[in-house]
A and B are shown apart, each in its own frame.
Chain A
């Protein structure tokens, strides 16, 4: 509905906005226009593409699971805990969101590599874990960049929920774990789903930290973004098809999050 006082958008703003939309739309168009549709199936079923897709799916799901396992308690602690240095902790946690992923990869190297990492040698000796040039490394790199998305989304959900529901549950005899499981978690479910979806999408797209920290080995650390980068020189068609798969996944995530992010805009 248009109102009398605000009729549309000034012409200059509309022109500049159109340029911005083109700027976003043109790369998509370019990708679609260069896609080798006739060889699509062969490109996507080539061993290198299949390996990359399988590995990406596996690593990103592991990263999401680890993000949930450690990120939800962390979000809860940040939202509900009262301890000195909480804002410092939060800053450390969200740092990977603004840190160049390559730098993240280098930093991971000096923490977890067997030879010169802070705890890498110990983890190798005690648990037999080796992250560099291994699938575990790819998972670790993806978790590093993905978990912050889950933590801040879930923390925001915890902060905005009506805590009196937790009081009501406690007055009905529920202990803290029951309150969390039967009241808190269901009430923040939208934030939880959104956080998990964002974390998963971020893990799936992870490139810099993975290639720096885990390496680029087909079937072990070569996830889809790494494969795209490598194949752009030798098998351009496969690179484009893999890119389109990632693009498709991104759009699906956006649609799934639509109600959460665009719901408010639609109402007004």
Chain B
């Protein structure tokens, strides 16, 4: 593993306790809500925050281990960082910004400028080398920040919300370019984001961080298919219920039961795609085994579809067409029945 870290530290009452391992050529996305400790984790990996406990190893070399008294300061770690808001030095030109890391490592001025120019060409801002960063667009700043982080050929690159400061129009293009640049970079890559779309597009693996702990990790598709927390379920847009399974029934905390197709036992999660939930004004009589009563508590418009939130013993979100909303009269406060076929449920141990 090119990056192997167990990070334990406390900061102003906030406790971070998270492990992360990234192989060379692999991109791991650290996903989590605001305040989950994503940036703190990145700062610890970069050496900007010393660990309280645990260890960080880069290419097998231990760079932080409080129990062994080892701490390699950031300037001597082979780590490139793309900071949130990019933090390009405002008093230096774009070229000097990119050359900064090389100059700090005692590369000659001419050589540093040559390599910096090369990288600026590579990320597509070769024509802005002599301007100050404040006249660049957000997208250009991101490209310069990426060049500045990669020009020293670090073993690990850390990116903190590299797409968050961009408007929607440039985001798609920059996401695609970022993917290409990261793909041709041989080291380990860690990208912090709170956007699932960025994580899916850029990362091989997800680490979900919540309140300073790793809530879930694994390949992107697996995490999306089997969320293990409310946060992830909301991100991927599925209903997530937790209960106790016995035979073909799962009993929720509210006392309601869910009939399942396969037999299960013990604590389980039940994931339900909102598109598999149907809504009825009167109790449906048909094949679906799972029918519950509830009351509509809100609706979200999502393109030509509507997400209807239903409160009740089994709180669910159903995704229906706008036509259905009008035809069935699905307004706030209306009593409805929700129905789900047992075969549409995804059940996995908690």
A residues touching B (Cβ–Cβ < 8 Å)?
Answer: 162, 164-165, 167-175, 178, 182-183, 186-187, 189
Given contacts A164-B83, A167-B74, A167-B83, contact A172 B91 (CB under 8 A): no
The answer to whether A187 and B74 touch across the interface, beta carbons within 8 angstroms, is: no
5 nearest A-B residue pairs (beta carbon): A172-B101, A174-B104, A173-B104, A186-B91, A170-B74
Q: Is the interface of B mostly helix, strand, loop or mixed?
A: mixed
Majority secondary structure, A binding face: helix
Task: List residues of chain B with CB within 8 A of the CB of A182.
Answer: 100
With A167-B87, A173-B76, A189-B91 given, name 16 new contacts (CB 8 A).
A165-B87, A167-B43, A167-B83, A168-B83, A169-B104, A170-B74, A171-B74, A171-B79, A171-B81, A172-B75, A172-B101, A172-B104, A174-B75, A183-B89, A186-B89, A186-B92
Q: Can you report 8 residue pairs joining A to B where beta carbons are below 8 Å apart?
A: A162-B87, A167-B48, A170-B73, A171-B80, A172-B101, A174-B100, A174-B104, A178-B104
Interface residues on B, range: 20 to 34
Interchain CA distance A54-B47 in the complex, whole Å: 53
Is A173 in contact with B81, judged by CB distance below 8 angstroms? no
Question: B73 to chain A: which residues have CB within 8 Å?
Answer: 170
Does B189 belong to the interface (CB within 8 Å)?
A: no
Known contacts: A183-B89, A187-B91. The answer to whether A168 contacts B75 by CB under 8 A is: no
Q: Which residues of the partner chain B approach A187 to less than 8 Å between Cβ atoms?
A: 90-91
Closest A residue to B80 using CB positions? A171
* Contact indicator A172/B48 (Cβ below 8 Å): no
CB of A49, distance to nearest CB on chain B (Å): 42
Tell whether B117 is near chain A: CB-to-CB under 8 Å: no
Max chain B C-beta neighbours (<10 A), residue from A165, A168, A170: A168
Question: Do residues A165 and B74 form an inter-chain contact, with CB atoms below 8 A?
Answer: no
Residue of A nearest to B74 (CB): A170
How near does chain B come to A169, taking the closest CB pair, in angstroms?
7
Is B2 interfacial (CB-CB < 8 Å)?
Answer: no
Chain B contacts for A164, CB-based, 8 A? 83, 87
A223 to B18, CA, bound (A): 66
Cα-based distance from A169 to B79 in the complex (angstroms): 12
Say if the beta carbon of B152 comes within 8 Å of chain A: yes
